[in-house]
Amino acid sequence: MSDAIKQQIRDLLKEHNAVLLAHNYMRDEVQEIADITGDSLALSIEAAKTPADVIVFCGVHFMAESAAILSPGKKVLLPRPDAGCPMADMVTADELEALRAGHPGVPVVTYVNSSAEVKAHSDICCTSANALKVVRSLQEDELIFVPDRNLGRWVARFVPEKKFIFWEGFCPTHERMTVAAVLQKKAEHPDALFICHPESAPEVSALADHVCSTSGMYDYCRTSPAATFIIGTEAGILYKLRLESPDKEFILASPALFCPNMKLTSLEDVLVSLQTLAPVVTVPEDIRLRAKGALDRMLAIPRD
């Protein structure tokens, strides 16, 4: 049955001149059929470069918003509109403005795991891969970092000269990965390297051999001479890790590393979305332009 659904999806993608995006945490079968897989913002950037008229985003709501921000001329579909992000929901534009009012002139750095409206009230965005570079690019010695306190505190370790005002948001999935769980896996696999996402709690990141984004994990594991890795991020990443390095062993750091929102989207959902060309995600133009400005300022920072 799944093969038949996959063929229907491929046929409809061609019929509608559509591109199918899948985040690294999606179900294996969704990643398998996607045209492009990757981090949330990287997917939106790549989709904007394609000649596709329709973007089908297998991810969560803020990711589809990012695609709509960067591709205003394309129709953006989110097969599961109920796929949200608890961290993104932990801050609103009104709450951010209230914080800004108490710190006049202090720039706001906003993690892309946030709503379009919050991005629109920010000075610059960042990803987990470039957060440190974004912070270092600021002239000011004080900044507001939202919404992820764990990513913010990880970055702050490397720029002690700057003062951070943290929003106390977090990723519930990464927060469930405990020191005890990691130590148990390290004891069971003493030769393994432990790699974790900077959304992890600081005491967990302190145990890591390497801390990086999901795209960074692919690069690190592919090029490392190590044979075994303990992976400290959402379970969906294991699909591509094992695909790219079939000769290596990848062990999930904790069974708690499972995001129910990321696992909502099924092949059946993708098929229905393409059949109906719905649900459509849009961003009001005034918010889109302001949010795009924060993203553009991030993208303007020179890469290494």
Which residues make beta-bridge pairs with 143? 164
Nearest alpha carbon to residue 244 among 274, 217, 276, 207: 217
User: Strand 75-77 relative to strand 108-111: parallel, antiparallel, unpaired?
Assistant: unpaired
Question: Is it the case that residue 254 has pLDDT exceeding 70?
Answer: yes
- What are the tens digits of pLDDT across the range 45-71? 999 999 999 999 999 999 999 999 999
150-166 pLDDT per residue, tens: 999 999 999 999 999 99
Query: For residue 2, what pLDDT is reported?
Result: 83
Hey, where are the domains in the chain?
2-84+262-283, 88-171+288-299, 177-252
- Domain 88-171+288-299 in the same topology as domain 2-84+262-283: yes
Whole-number pLDDT of residue 17: 98
| Predicted pLDDT at 302 | 85
pTM (predicted TM-score) = 0.95
Percent of the chain with pLDDT over 90: 96
Determine the average pLDDT of the residues in 261-281: 98
Domain at 177-252, CATH from 3.40.50.300, 3.40.50.10800, 1.10.10.10, 3.30.920.30: 3.40.50.10800
pLDDT in tens, 204-233: 999 999 999 999 999 999 999 999 999 999
Query: What is residue 304's predicted lDDT score, i.e. its pLDDT?
Result: 66
CATH code that applies to domain 88-171+288-299: 3.40.50.10800
Q: Which fold has domain 2-84+262-283?
A: Rossmann fold (3.40.50)
- Report residue 257's pLDDT band, with 50, 70 and 90 as the boundaries: very high
Going along the chain, which residue ranges are E strands?
A: 18-23, 36-38, 54-58, 75-77, 108-111, 124-126, 142-146, 163-166, 193-196, 210-211, 228-232, 249-252
